[in-house]
């Protein structure tokens, strides 16, 4: 199950990256003539903001997670606070940093395979669950 969830999370994250990256890169590099490094850093900040705001206002889901029927929750399955969502997304943004981002991403993958949670979820005290799981956990609390 953990492997399927990892693959689904990667696919949902890829949708979100493309939704943010393509317009930002096209606008900044094509229209505004900004260099690639500056556009990349702006993309990372915007991706973190996009993800945290979507997850806070759309029931724990970005557009990618929505299509994958996933959502972000706190450790108990409830709504994660915006502070934790922001922290989670800032750690996730480090995976895209030039030179050493891939090392952090690989460490997060290994951490996920060993512990069942990514580094950014551990930092933000969050977890990614299916919407079906969230419904069951909310029924259990009522």
Please, which pLDDT band fits residue 137 given cuts at 50, 70 and 90? low
Burial label, 130 (beta-carbon count in 10 A; 0-12, 13-18, 19+): middle
Q: How many whole angstroms separate alpha carbon 25 and alpha carbon 35?
A: 10
Asked if 79 and 73 touch (Cβ cutoff 8 Å), the reply is yes
**Residues 122-136: what's their mean pLDDT?**
87
Mind listing the pLDDT tens digit for each residue in 67-106? 999 999 999 888 999 999 999 999 999 999 988 999 999 9
Helix or strand run (H / E) with residue 130: strand 126-130
Mind listing the pLDDT tens digit for each residue in 21-76? 889 888 888 888 888 888 888 899 999 999 999 999 999 999 999 999 999 999 98
Global pTM value = 0.85
Asked if 63 and 104 touch (Cβ cutoff 8 Å), the reply is no
Is a pLDDT exceeding 80 seen at residue 122?
Answer: yes
Is a pLDDT exceeding 70 seen at residue 139?
Answer: no
Q: How many whole angstroms separate alpha carbon 6 and alpha carbon 38?
A: 30
Check residue 133 and give its pLDDT.
79
Q: How many whole angstroms separate alpha carbon 41 and alpha carbon 121?
A: 22
Average model confidence (pLDDT) across the chain? 90
Q: How many whole angstroms separate alpha carbon 105 and alpha carbon 24?
A: 22
């Amino acid at each position: 199950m953990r492997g399927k969830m990892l693959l689904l999370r990667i696919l949902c994250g890829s949708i979100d990256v493309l939704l943010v990256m393509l317009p930002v890169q096209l606008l900044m590099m094509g229209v505004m003539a900004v260099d690639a490094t500056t556009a990349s850093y702006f993309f990372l900040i915007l991706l973190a903001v996009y993800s945290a705001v979507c997850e806070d206002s759309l029931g724990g889901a970005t557009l990618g997670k929505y299509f994958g029927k996933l959502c972000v929750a706190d450790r108990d399955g409830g709504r994660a606070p915006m502070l934790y969502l922001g922290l989670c997304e800032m750690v996730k943004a480090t995976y895209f940093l030039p030179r050493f981002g891939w090392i952090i991403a690989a460490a997060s993958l290994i951490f996920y395979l060993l512990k069942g949670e990514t580094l950014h979820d551990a930092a933000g005290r969050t977890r990614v669950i299916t919407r079906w799981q969230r419904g069951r956990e909310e029924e259990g609390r009522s």
